[in-house]
Amino acid sequence: MTAIDRQHTGSHHIDTTLNNWQETGAPGFWLKPIFKDSQTGVSTALMKIDPGAYTPDHAHDQLEEIYVLDGDFYDAEHSYGPGHYCQRAIGAMHEAGSKGGCTMLLMYRR
């Protein structure tokens, strides 16, 4: 099962438990795509970060929204736990990591 593409009518659903975690290119960072608008690049995914995983400064070409579901997540500015939300402006440099591992909802918007 893959992510749902943008729909124009009706309701659509996905069972994320049926999707496998996909490598992201950053060691210890994994994605389960949920939604991807193939026309705009807007997307929603679950991200899992393994305990001790870290990625140095980088930026994204879209607005990034993070909602921590479980575990711990950190950047150079703050540490986040379950229920914490973070939004990053387009092009904002940031690092990312987790001491004990975490799962988060990750959204990219134009």
For residue 3, tell me if it sits in a domain. no
Model confidence over 5-22: pLDDT tens digits?
776 678 888 889 998 999
Instruction: Give 56's Cβ-side CA count (13 Å radius).
Output: 0
CA distance 109 to 17: 24
For residue 8, tell me if it sits in a domain. no
The enclosing domain of 37 has a CATH number of 2.60.120.10
Expressed as residue numbers, the domain containing 64 is 22-109
The band of 79, judged by pLDDT with boundaries at 50, 70 and 90, is very high
The band of 3, judged by pLDDT with boundaries at 50, 70 and 90, is confident
For residue 11, tell me if it sits in a domain. no
For residue 101, tell me if it sits in a domain. yes
Number of domains in the chain: 1
For residue 14, tell me if it sits in a domain. no
pTM passes above 0.75: yes
Structure confidence at residue 14 (pLDDT):
85
CA angle 17, 25, 13 (to 5 degrees): 25
What are the tokens at 63? 């607005």
For residue 16, tell me if it sits in a domain. no
pLDDT at 78 over 80: yes
For residue 96, tell me if it sits in a domain. yes
What element of type H or E holds 57?
Answer: strand 54-58
Is 46 strand, coil or helix?
strand
